[in-house]
Amino acid sequence: MAVTDVAPGMRADERMRRAGLLRRLLNRPELGAAGGVVIVWVIFAVIAGDRGFLGTSGTASYLEVASELGILAVPVSLLMIAGEFDLSIGSIVGASGMAIALLDVQYHWPLWAAILAAVAFSLLIGFLNGLVVVKTRLPSFIVTLASLFIFRGVTIAVTRRITGRTELGGIDISSVRVLFAGHVDAYSASILWWLGIAVLATWVLLRTRVGNWIFGSGGAAEAARNIGVPVNRVKIGLFMTTAFAGCLLAIIDLVKFASADVLRGTQLEFQAIIAVVIGGTLLTGGYGSAVGAVFGALIFGMVQQGIVITGVDADWFQVFLGGMLILAVLVNSYIRRKAAEARR
Condensed to tens digits (0 to 9), the pLDDT of residues 4-36 reads 444 555 466 666 566 555 566 556 778 888 888
What is the tens place of the pLDDT at every residue in 43-98? 899 988 888 899 999 999 999 999 999 999 999 999 999 999 999 999 999 999 99
Q: Give the SS3 label for residue 175.
A: coil
Does 2 score more than 50 pLDDT?
Answer: no
How far does the chain reach from its first CA to its final CA, in angstroms? 35
Does 306 score more than 80 pLDDT?
Answer: yes
Q: Give the SS3 label for residue 192.
A: helix
Q: What confidence score (pLDDT) does residue 196 get?
A: 97
Domain architecture of the chain: domains with CATH? 31-343 (1.10.3470)
Q: Note the Cα 335 to chain centre separation in Å.
A: 22
284 in Cβ contact with 81 (< 8 Å): no
| Mean pLDDT rounded to a whole number for the chain | 89
Buried/exposed 242-277: b ≥16 CB within 10 Å, e otherwise: bbbbbbbbbbbbbbbbebbbbbbbeebbebbbbbbb
Q: What confidence score (pLDDT) does residue 15 get?
A: 62
pTM: 0.90
Structure confidence at residue 334 as a pLDDT band (50, 70, 90): confident
Q: What confidence score (pLDDT) does residue 6 get?
A: 47
Q: What confidence score (pLDDT) does residue 198 get?
A: 97
Does 313 score more than 80 pLDDT?
Answer: no
For residues 174-186, give the mean pLDDT. Answer: 92
